[in-house]
Structure 1
């Protein structure tokens, strides 16, 4: 019998209230080691608010967040990052004046705590290591290109490489395919799924593209008006009456094709 694996992330009764309005209301869930889990819901459902509490950008009104057995509720984002939680954002935040590899080198310099001592020769540091991360996301051939001329899909790949530089055990990805062409969306999430499988990283991501979600997520959670209304595999979520009502007013949710 396989040993029981404790969740890498445990969220209990997470709540965020603004002057009586419950943006997130009593949300509880787990993310298992090596799991690729989606958090979906209509606009305004509370997904980004939930993410911001997990990463420390927002303080919960009540509830707890536990990462790898340690309570992280109330810690600052940098403290949570140091513990092994990474994040990508809906809008990319790379340094446009730098090259692709320089962006990754800067992330490595921060990871190695040398940010205040290397300014004159930063371009020399961690170049080989940076190339390894670029190879992971298929960007090594563009290492010396300026970020300002990259296609948006390549910027998203670069952001993923940057997020991996401190070798997180959990990666939070907020709308990772937003603004990308349909084919590029599938490619990015396939890349993410490969990283989950090969490196054992756990990923929690929000997403509006249902093809992306059902093609790649191991489990899917649905948030609506701040409340979690479903949490299960693709078949269970697709058949859930509340989810059907939220998305299509009671119609058939998503196509029935197998997205293995």
Structure 2
């Protein structure tokens, strides 16, 4: 079976600092894979290279076997790689459904024909995406009036507008209340199953990581130091020493009983 995303020897340096140093991993189909690490480990740099925002110094990035290294973000997006960001960015004066329609209009290459008919384009498709993320009852509200958790759900609907095969999520639960974090990640898990999406996400909340990831990778100083199941990573002495803190016990991991929660700071 072809991996959804295959990364080999990915590298990026800024001056004499190796932000990402020979990183290799594979994201499997229908998998939720977490990338964690302390502040400055290289997570954001890695993400920015995967979706084309940053040009790598070397390596290989294959999407279902096809090389995408060096492609600009728009081409990567059109090939089926969606992304959400730590800080949401929406058209605040537009309604929820209009924001999703804008993403769909771009996906269908209708930008030139957009005005004055934008309000009628792909409205049903946009509503279906909002229904998928539980936002259909707020479709007519202005985005500037939404609570932060609702903005995150709307951002997920927008990220799904290009029908991605791979979804990159940069700290999806950042800034959310604990219960909202659980609800959002349960929603993402349902999307993985219903739409066959493979998800790579970064996160500092260990409840989110160990509660929802199928596998976990740990990045430190630009290098992957550990990769395995949540239990393997949580109990790895190198991870405890370098990142999680020796002896720390973290939140409920996938398929395990709940334990006290701790968060890794930026």
Match of 2:258 in 1: none
Alignment of 1:188-199 (within 5 A): 188-199=184-195
Q: Distance in 2 between matches of 1:182 and 1:76?
A: 35
Rounded Cα–Cα distance in structure 1 between residues aligned with 2:248 and 2:254: 16
Residues 1-260 of structure 1: pairs in structure 2 closer than 5 A: 5-255=1-251, 257-260=252-255
CA deviation vs aligned residue, 1:139-182 (integer Å, no higher than 9, x gap): 00000000000000000000000000111000000011111111
**Structure 1, gaps ≥5 residues long:** none
TM-score when normalising by structure 1: 0.96
Superposed CA offset, 1:157-211 (max 9, x none): 0000000011100000001111111110111011001110121100000000000
Using the TM superposition, give the Cα deviation of residue 248 of structure 1 relative to its aligned residue in structure 2, in angstroms.
4.3
TM-score by length of 2: 0.94
How far apart in 2 are the matches of 1:102 and 1:163? 14
Shift of 1:258: 4.9
Conserved 8 A contact 2:217-2:224: yes
SS of the counterpart of 2:90? coil
Task: Give runs of ≥4 in structure 1 deviating > 3 Å.
Answer: none
Offset at 1:252?
3.4
How many pairs does the alignment contain? Answer: 255
Distance (Å, rounded) in 2 between the aligned partners of 1:201 and 1:38: 14
Does the 8 Å contact 2:218/2:239 carry over to 1? yes
What is the root-mean-square deviation in Å for CA atoms of aligned residues?
1.0
Partners of 1:40 and 1:223 within 8 A in 2 = yes
